[in-house]
Amino acid sequence: MKVKKWFFASFIAVILLSLVACSSGGESAGSTTSKEDGKKSSDEKVLHVAALESAYGADMWTKIAESFEAADENVTVKLTVEKNLEEVIRPNMQAGEYPDVVLLASGRKEALTDTLIKENGLEKITDVLDMKVYGEDRTVDEKLLDGFTDTLATNPYADGETYLAPMFYSPTGLFYNAGLFEEKGWKVPETWGEMWELGERAAKEEISLFTYPISGYFDTLVGSMLYASGGTEFYNGAMTYEDGIWETKEATQVLETINKLGNYIHPNTTANANPNDFTKNQQLVLDNKALFMPNGTWVVGEMGEAPRAENFEWGMMPVPAFEKGGDRYAFTFFEQIWIPSAAKNKDVAKEFITYMYSDEAASIFMKANAVQPIEGITGQLDGQNETFYSIYEEGTLPAMGTFASTKPVPGVSMGDTLYGQIDSIMSGKLTIEKWQTSIEEASDKLREAMN
């Protein structure tokens, strides 16, 4: 009996020891095995990337995350990609939970990026420009196109320091149906004078000269017009709230031209100029009910499945000159990627940003028609995009920049004052004199907030 009891106890002990060994062996393997085996490394970091789902779609971000994880086995990318990104991440940020990297441009109505700029909530990333692109030998600065980190859109405090990195650049201009112009034998106008003449001619055929998606799309149009009216120095003066800048003849010329467009606008435009119905205004161009609209190259994909007139072909022209032979500009719009100053994984976030300019990442983005501002990229374009991006090779000048950041001024927003009132200008509810006065007043208040 004693032998049997001893044997039985020994047998149970062996079984228990085996179970313990198997259990501890599994845990030990998990601490050293890479993600490719489905297990986490002890030094693995989770990088939270929040990106706006724009017309380029969300799928490219999934591929970028997978590609970066494959390049760095110690990083797991947690993605938040939403069309209403501000609404999704703002509550968490207010609770102290910040993404590590955010792809969200300034100048949007929700103004999340702008608010953080004003509150000094962005991490300085000037050093990223001197870092090597992840997996490559060249630095970010060596790969970026000239001028993209010399604007207030990347250096918002005008102090030579970079806080936002440029992403997905797009020439903007006035988009139209090139097939209709060929059919009618119409010449694309080069000056505003020719523009008004075309408007009269088109009206006789019940076609409006102009429409716009929403008033916010005037940001690039006004920017190009300011450049064309007064040049670079004048534009920079407007962006830094120079005293009396909006009362000058150059600014008045721009505002009067926008006001005159109200005489040629499609009658349904202002009713549809909202986030829910803006594609109806874009459809007016596809249906030959309006000739021109301000937009960017993303509109091609955005309206890719929309019906269109027979022989429709996208065309894009720079903003007309104010006089014969005058300079013409196409504003270069670009997205911005940045790191919140409260982010937890700033070092990995900076490495991720450098990866955005790698040939590998650029190839993923390009398949979604998102073009990175890096050298040699235009040589890889074809078809419609090649036509759009070659606009700067045909004498059109690039325009870039945005308003300088200031301390928050309650109730004051240049975007709301300059662009937000355009619907009222177009409908005749607001006079150009009151509009101009309100813009100058807002500029004055923001200038005081800079000092």
Instruction: State whether 320 and 348 are in the same domain.
Output: no
Instruction: State whether 207 and 182 are in the same domain.
Output: yes
| Cα–Cα nearest to 127, from 339, 275, 335, 306 | 339
Which three-class secondary structure state does DSSP give residue 319? coil
| CA–CA dist 62, 176 (Å, integer) | 33
Instruction: State whether 233 and 88 are in the same domain.
Output: no
Number of residues in the chain? 451
| Cα–Cα nearest to 152, from 445, 406, 373 | 406
Between the CA atoms of 110, 402, 424 and 443, what dihedral angle is there, to the nearest 10 degrees?
100
Q: Which two tokens stand for residue 311?
A: 């022989």
Choosing from 393, 424, 439, the residue where a domain stops is: 393
**Distances 249 to 70, 245, 253, 274 between C-alpha atoms, Å:** 57, 9, 6, 31
| CA–CA dist 297, 215 (Å, integer) | 18
Q: What is the pLDDT of residues 36-50, one digit of tens each?
A: 444 445 578 999 999
Instruction: State whether 184 and 71 are in the same domain.
Output: no
CB atoms within 10 A of CB 368: 18
Instruction: State whether 98 and 177 are in the same domain.
Output: no
Q: Which letter does DSSP use for residue 410 in this model? A: T
Whether 36 is in a domain gets the answer no
Instruction: State whether 338 and 420 are in the same domain.
Output: no
Average pLDDT over all residues of the chain: 89
| Cα–Cα nearest to 222, from 10, 439, 4, 419 | 419
Whole-number CA gyration radius for the chain:
27
Q: Which two tokens stand for residue 307?
A: 């019906």
Whether 17 is in a domain gets the answer no
pTM above 0.85, yes or no: no
Q: In Å, how far from its chain's centre is CA 229?
A: 25
Supply φ then ψ for residue 353, to 5 degrees: -65, -40
> What CATH number does the domain containing 111 carry?
3.40.190.10
Instruction: State whether 120 and 237 are in the same domain.
Output: no
Whether 39 is in a domain gets the answer no
Instruction: State whether 364 and 446 are in the same domain.
Output: no
Whether 85 is in a domain gets the answer yes
- Are 226 and 238 contacting, i.e. CB atoms less than 8 angstroms apart? yes
Instruction: State whether 305 and 419 are in the same domain.
Output: yes
| CA–CA dist 170, 373 (Å, integer) | 9
Q: How confident is the model at residue 9 (pLDDT cuts 50, 70, 90)?
A: very low
Whether 228 is in a domain gets the answer yes
| CA–CA dist 146, 76 (Å, integer) | 33
Q: In Å, how far from its chain's centre is CA 332?
A: 10
In terms of residue numbers, what domain contains 262? 172-332+403-450
- Residue 107 is predicted with a pLDDT of 83
- Are 202 and 312 contacting, i.e. CB atoms less than 8 angstroms apart? no
Residue 2 has pLDDT above 50, yes or no: no
Q: How confident is the model at residue 392 (pLDDT cuts 50, 70, 90)?
A: confident
- Average pLDDT, stretch 51-70? 96
Instruction: State whether 87 and 231 are in the same domain.
Output: no
- Are 186 and 201 contacting, i.e. CB atoms less than 8 angstroms apart? yes
- Are 443 and 241 contacting, i.e. CB atoms less than 8 angstroms apart? yes
- Average pLDDT, stretch 181-185? 97
| CA–CA dist 67, 76 (Å, integer) | 11
Whether 12 is in a domain gets the answer no
Q: What is the pLDDT of residues 109-131, one digit of tens each?
A: 788 999 999 999 999 999 999 99
Supply φ then ψ for residue 330, to 5 degrees: -125, 115
Higher pLDDT, 133 or 5: 133
- Average pLDDT, stretch 18-31? 36
Whether 3 is in a domain gets the answer no
Whether 34 is in a domain gets the answer no
* Neighbouring C-alpha atoms within 13 Å toward the C-beta of 182: 9
Instruction: State whether 160 and 240 are in the same domain.
Output: no
Instruction: State whether 265 and 316 are in the same domain.
Output: yes
> What angle, 0 to 180 degrees and rounded to 10, lies between the N-to-C axes of helices 59-71 and 346-355?
110
Q: What is the pLDDT of residues 341-374, one digit of tens each?
A: 999 999 999 999 999 999 999 999 999 989 999 9
Choosing from 372, 393, 414, the residue where a domain stops is: 393
- Are 248 and 443 contacting, i.e. CB atoms less than 8 angstroms apart? no
Choosing from 393, 412, 438, the residue where a domain stops is: 393
Q: Report how many domains make up the chain.
A: 2
- Are 112 and 86 contacting, i.e. CB atoms less than 8 angstroms apart? yes
Between the CA atoms of 82, 84, 87 and 89, what dihedral angle is there, to the nearest 10 degrees?
30
In degrees, rounded to 5, the angle at the alpha carbon of residue 201 between the alpha carbons of residues 199 and 204 is 105
